[in-house]
Structure 1
Amino acid sequence: MQIVLHLEKTALPARSEILAAAAQAVAAACLLGEAGLPGSPMEAALAGWYGLKIRKVARRASGAGWRRAQDVPGCTVTRASGAQARAIMPGRVAAVPQAISRLQIKGTDLPADAPGAVDGAWPLVAVDASLGMSAGKAAAQVGHGSMLLAAALPPEVAIAWARAGFLLAVREVPHEEFLALCAAPGAVVVADAGYTEVAPGAHTVVAVPGRGTADSN
């Protein structure tokens, strides 16, 4: 799955916000719209993708490149802050649409920010800051996290989360805090394949349910 991050040089979003937009867009692409419509192109693409090694690649776009990305099947999320990301209908690497394949992968980065504490109402997707991942790499990883969390939730809880627009927060946290979150009830941990930036099997992200997505059973 390709993830397009909207990064205009004159109005760059906060790193935590663009990561949150990426995580929400992936969850939405996997669960909303044609994703659940039997026989639809999106449903077929997702079904085929789920049977393969799940990979996500983040690219950056601005101006006309971002506008062209909207014409490719997928799901765009816009945060209250204005941060935007689009998750593209998955497919094989060799078949990435030209409007997406022409977008840059390397050099996709943003400076760390300090967004503050989260209120716990919705899921927290925490990134292990000790790994030093670029924003592009982290965007792919938080997409893994939101997708795995959605799959792990009871159906009625996932539906409620979808109705809320897959609200979540992303925070990059120290390694010790990351390990503590991995032990939290309902937490799902992402182990990376190690194609880029980190070692194979590295735990990059943990997604923890919030009060709005906690299993009441």
Structure 2
Amino acid sequence: MGNGWETEAPVRDEAAEFAVRHAELAQGYGGGADPGDPALVQAMQMVLHIPKADPPARSALLEAAAAAAVAVCLDPRSGPGGEWEPRYLAWKRSRIRKVARRARGAQWVAAGDVAGVTVEVDGAQARAFVPGPVGEIDQRIRKLQIGGTDLDHDEPGPVDPAAPVLWVNAALEMSVGKAAAQVGHASMLLAGALPVDAAAAWADRGFRCAVRDAGAQQWVALVAEVAAGRAVAVRDAGFTEVAPGSMTVIAVPPRW
């Protein structure tokens, strides 16, 4: 029986909350120096599900990885007062890193119990985890192999005109793990560069994107799009596989 003092829970303004998270991402990332203690270096761990018997298409797996990475950044739990916020901001405001690992079978199932976001695209699955110091990586993730397995380049179908396209620099011949980290950087950069309404619309689509390889001639045209402000580019720090400053991925927004 009511006592006349009950009050309704405040109505959440989800659009306003998303705008706050987007504004943080739009400020860019990185800039801080690495800490003196290597165990305190910040990184976002990612796991790619690569079964031995029936591995996924490379392009679909990279699309899942790109969507999972940006989904963690714009998840309500990464926003003000969210349980992920302190770890997310400590990572985003430091010298940013992503580390992609592979898993199959029971390893993949166990990875699903670690805080993060899983995305599936055409049967390919990738999970991005809440960032943190490399010295505190969950043992279920730490034991997973970083390299050693790659996937053949495939020929995906036509690009959905409503989806952004993340163009991978084919000349760099990056492994699938390296490429996964780079498209994860690209999805973050693109989301931050989009107007908030466009970013929210992309979020409503589950951050679905297309990942395609760009040959030399096409890459030149894409670099021109970056120079014109119509695309965003990832320039790698050069920790692994490619030379520092290499332009690895160019993200082109859709014509919404």
Matched residue, 1:108: 149
Amino acid of the structure 1 residue aligned with 2:204: R
Q: Which of 18, 29, 43 in structure 1 is aligned with 2:72?
A: 29
| 1:94 lines up with 2:94 in the alignment | no
Q: Which of 95, 109, 130 in structure 2 is aligned with 1:67?
A: 109
Contact kept, 8 Å, 1:59 with 1:108, in 2: the verdict is no
Amino acid of the structure 1 residue aligned with 2:113: D
Q: Deviations over 1:163-202 (max 9, x none)?
A: 1111110001102212312332531100001111100000
Q: Deviations over 1:49-108 (max 9, x none)?
A: 1111110010001111111111111100011x1110000000111111111110000113
Q: Percent identity?
A: 56
Distance in 1 of aligned mates of 2:141 and 2:255:
36
Aligned Cα root-mean-square deviation (Å): 1.2
Structure-2-length-normalised TM-score: 0.79
Choose 185-194 or 132-141, whichever is displaced more.
185-194
Distance 1:63 1:33, change over 3 A: farther
Matched residue, 2:213: 172
Secondary structure at the counterpart of residue 206 of structure 1: strand
Q: Gaps (5+ residues) in structure 1?
A: 213-217
| 1:55 lines up with 2:97 in the alignment | yes
Amino acid of the structure 1 residue aligned with 2:68: A
Matched residue, 1:194: 238
Distance in 1 of aligned mates of 2:123 and 2:158:
20
Structure-1-length-normalised TM-score: 0.93
Contact kept, 8 Å, 1:69 with 1:100, in 2: the verdict is yes
Distance in 2 of aligned mates of 1:187 and 1:45:
29
Q: Deviations over 1:97-129 (max 9, x none)?
A: 111110000113101111143243210001000
Matched residue, 1:206: 250
Q: Compute the displacement of 1:33 (Å).
A: 3.5
Q: Which of 176, 179, 185 in structure 2 is aligned with 1:138?
A: 179
Distance in 2 of aligned mates of 1:4 and 1:57:
8
Secondary structure at the counterpart of residue 177 of structure 1: helix
Matched residue, 1:10: 53
The correspondence of residues 151-166 of structure 1 with structure 2, limited to 5 A, is 151-166=192-207
Contact kept, 8 Å, 1:182 with 1:188, in 2: the verdict is no
Q: Gaps (5+ residues) in structure 2?
A: 1-43
Secondary structure at the counterpart of residue 211 of structure 2: strand
| 1:41 lines up with 2:83 in the alignment | yes
Distance in 2 of aligned mates of 1:68 and 1:170:
27
Secondary structure at the counterpart of residue 59 of structure 1: strand
Matched residue, 2:36: none
Contact kept, 8 Å, 1:194 with 1:200, in 2: the verdict is yes
- Paired residues in the alignment total 210
Amino acid of the structure 2 residue aligned with 1:30: C
